[in-house]
Amino acid sequence: MNHRRMSVPHRSTIATRRRTGLAAGACAVVAALTLGLGGGPAAADGPRYRSWSGMDTRNYAGPIPAKAGTVISSVDLDRRLWVPNTARAQRYLYSTQNVHGKKAVSTAAVFVPGGTAPKGGWPVIAWAHGTTGLGDDCSPSTHTRNPRDSAYLAHWLQQGYAIVATDYVGLGTPGLMSYLNGPTEARSIVDSVKAAQHLDLSLGRTWAIVGQSQGAGAALAGARHATSLSAGSGLDYRGVVATGTPANIELIIGLGGPGFPPVTLPAALNAYVAYILAGFTDARPDLDVEGLLTPLGKKVLTQAAELCYGEMADAVDGVDISTMFRKPVSSLPNAQAALTEYMGTPYTGYDRPIFLGQGLRDVDVPAPSALSLYAQMKANNQPVELHVYPSMDHSDTVLASLKDSTPFVSRIMR
């Protein structure tokens, strides 16, 4: 594993978004977490085949083009990493921007369906993946996909879409992935699609974004900024599908401290909190987030920067998050505004249709999170539709939503 410094000399300058009408949503999410909505040890996917496909980018130190979305190098993706219904696949390194506003690199995989591309090229779905971890060894383009994601992506390939799947900047490339930082993830997504246009794969200009869990938040941030970030590229952005969206979570993190939460959370939620704190610490070294933590908290922060999701969930299973803090998060200067700037999910400014899918049995991202976001979007007249799956959990919702998201994507891509 690569060992990462938890501070850097620069801070993000992304403008803080104004938040309104959040109190009810915050209370609902807190209740869902602290009342023990369910859960237990996170289920590991088990060992999966890993390959860098001849392009190990962890310590890339070459030139970075000034223009974001430029392909730096590409290789054929190891066939053992293909998802079903793939006819051709590549892995590529491209230029983008990190959380500190600096030139950086990210990697992505692109999967192309079989047959003859339609006139204008294959329409593109940008896949925003869920939580895999922050360590370089956790990058999805270097592993076989888990069975759920394989089936999900295979479905879209079967429907005649090419898949562009970013790893997000810092995951498998220098720097720390900025977990749940929407603006940075948005750039990774949009720049991956811009770069893929320059590969010899007959990709079209029409595209949409699809994401789950961490990727749902990334997908929505990408959707909010897709038109502006792709201006001048010729791309035609059409809309977004997001399932299990971690919205308004910054309100909960802002309550963290020696007395909160008052119960031990499921291992999955502990892992998410650790990843958020690691990403926030890296993004805002000026705030000295580490100064809030006990020795246990600092140990967990170090683990979060290295361990992939299954290992991280095991490492923090049974940990009382409140024992990680010696001071409350609220003691940081302008703490809530800083957290909102770092990880707030936008609920205004969308110019294309939004599909939100949520399982009511979701214990990883409890339903009040996405439902409060939907209420905020509707209050602000955003082009959103909500699909609720009463018997589905966080993972089940991904495939269950296809009966609704497939016609949605077909409609917006026409």
Q: Provide the pLDDT for residue 124.
A: 98
User: Which pLDDT tens digit goes with each residue over 365-399?
Assistant: 999 999 999 999 999 999 999 999 999 999 999 99
Look up residue 236 and give its two tokens.
């035609």
User: 220, 83, 81: which is closest to 161 by C-alpha?
Assistant: 83
Where does the pLDDT of residue 46 fall: very low under 50, low under 70, confident under 90, or very high at 90 and above? low
Predicted TM-score of the model (pTM): 0.90
User: DSSP states of 147-163 as a string?
Assistant: HHHHHHHHHHHHTT-EE
Rounded Cα gap, residues 136 and 133, in angstroms: 8
| DSSP code, position 227 | H
Residue 33 has pLDDT above 80, yes or no: no
Q: Starting at the earlier edge strand, list the strands of the sheet with 384-389.
A: 71-76, 86-97, 103-113, 162-166, 122-128, 203-212, 236-243, 354-359, 384-389
79, 201, 177, 59: which is closest to 128 by C-alpha?
177
pLDDT band per the 50, 70, 90 thresholds, residue 5: very low
pLDDT tens per residue across span 282-316: 999 999 999 999 999 999 999 999 999 999 999 99
Is the pLDDT at 24 greater than 70? The verdict is no
Backbone region of residue 274 per phi and psi (left: phi > 0; alpha: psi in -120 to 50; beta: other values): alpha
Interval 95-124: pLDDT, tens: 999 999 999 999 999 999 999 999 999 999
Residue 21 has pLDDT above 50, yes or no: no
Question: Which pLDDT does position 48 carry in this prediction?
Answer: 85
> Quick one: pLDDT at residue 32?
41
Distance of CA 125 to the CA centre of its chain: 15
Percent of the chain at pLDDT > 70 equals 89
**Per-residue pLDDT for 28 more than 70?**
no
Cβ atoms of 87 and 191 within 8 Å: the answer is no
Q: For 137-151, what is the mean pLDDT?
A: 97
- Between 28-32, 133-137, 207-211, the lowest mean confidence (pLDDT) is in 28-32
Between CA 214 and CA 284 the distance in angstroms is: 20
On the question of pLDDT at 34 being above 90, the answer is: no
**321-345, pLDDT tens digit by residue?**
999 999 999 999 999 999 999 999 9
Residue 37 has what pLDDT?
Answer: 34
Q: Is the dihedral of CA 304, 37, 146, 167 positive or negative?
A: negative
